[in-house]
Amino acid sequence: MTKAFATTVIGSMPKPPWLLERRAMNDPTADHHGKGADWLPAPDLLPQAQDDACRLAIHDQERAGVDIISDGEQRRKSYLTYITMQLSGIDYGRTVPKLARNGRRTIQAGRVTGPIRREGPLLKDDLLFLMREAAAPVKITLPGPMTVWDTVADEHYGDARALALDYAAAINGEARELDALGPAVIQFDEPVFSRYPALVAEWGIEALDRCLEGLATRTAVHVCYSYPLPGVARPIQDSYPVILEELEKSRADCIALEFEASGLDPSLLRLCPSKTVIFGCIDNGNETPETPEHVARKLLAAAEHHPPEKIQAAPDCGLVPLGRESACAKLDALVRGARIARERVAGGTE
């Protein structure tokens, strides 16, 4: 996508009420880092129900006119454990409490009990289904190494960098197989980059780049301040100046950044001049849709610091916390706002 203000999503979309129990994301009995909520269809009906939910998510994105879409992560209880539960060396049979996100919250973490290895394909069938069903270009998402490290309990490595690099090597094998199928984007989700800027510089970029080795497909890394959770503080740390300078050195083609709910200054984009920025201008923390004019103003403000053809419009993060009606309204505002901004740039006005 080389047009100014192309539109995309981060990954997740709301799940239909007939697919998965809807519980508060801070409900300790349904911690999505551990067991998670329960699927509602019977086991023999679940695959078909997930297929139908993916079709619905694809339909909602394409109807809004989003340029690069996902499957809405409808097969995943969690964007992360859907992957990590399929890897050897991580045991979810007995989870343990762990303080994560640099002290923001306690989660139920799977235990790393041996070397992290990938035994076979993880997302091949999901991507093939998405590509068959979608008319638009598609992206597929994988959790990044630092976020995995922060979300598991290490009982094997005793060294954060070693764990992250082993995971990165394992997931690079998956990314290479997905790459061969021809998606538009392979994205690695690293929300915790915002919480550990010193570690990003120490080994985070090294581990991310290991994930990206040998890929021909356009690559992205997603950074945010994590999902808003009722009753859980969400401090916006002044970490972007550090992590953007480090990400500018990385192999990633695109950087997905949160700018709406965080209120961060778009002048920070000057720190990553070579990258395409997936600019977050839709808040996933409330049900009220932004207006197209608001989205256009945000994008035009970003374009004062970064070329418009290297800015993509997106939500701050996944839309799974929202109801479907709100998510669809927000995507509609995103697409219409990007169109307004594109027309104003082309016309030379703001």
Q: Which residue, 117, 194, 112, is CA-closest to 160? A: 112
Contact 49, 18 (CB under 8 A): yes
| 136-171 per-position pLDDT tens digit | 999 999 999 999 999 999 999 999 999 999 999 999
Q: Supply the pLDDT for residue 350.
A: 47
Q: pTM of the predicted model, to two decimals?
A: 0.94
| 230-279 per-position pLDDT tens digit | 666 666 778 999 999 999 999 999 999 999 999 999 999 999 999 999 99
Note the residue count of the chain.
Answer: 350
Domains of the chain: 6-347 (3.20.20.210)
Core vs surface per residue 5-24: b (16+ CB within 10 A) or e:
bbbbbbbbbbbbeebbeeee
Spell out the residues 6+ positions from residue 272 whose beta carbon is closer than 8 angstroms to its own: 244, 245, 247, 248, 255
| 93-141 per-position pLDDT tens digit | 999 999 888 767 788 899 999 999 999 999 999 999 999 999 999 999 9
Q: Supply the pLDDT for residue 231.
A: 67
Instruction: Supply the DSSP string of 172-211, one letter for each residue.
Output: HHHHHHHHTT--SEEEEE-GGGGT-HHHIIIIIHHHHHHH
- Percent residues over pLDDT 70 in the chain: 93
Q: Which residue, 184, 237, 247, 173, is CA-closest to 210? A: 173
Number of H helices, E strands in the chain: 10, 10
> What's the mean pLDDT in 216-239?
81
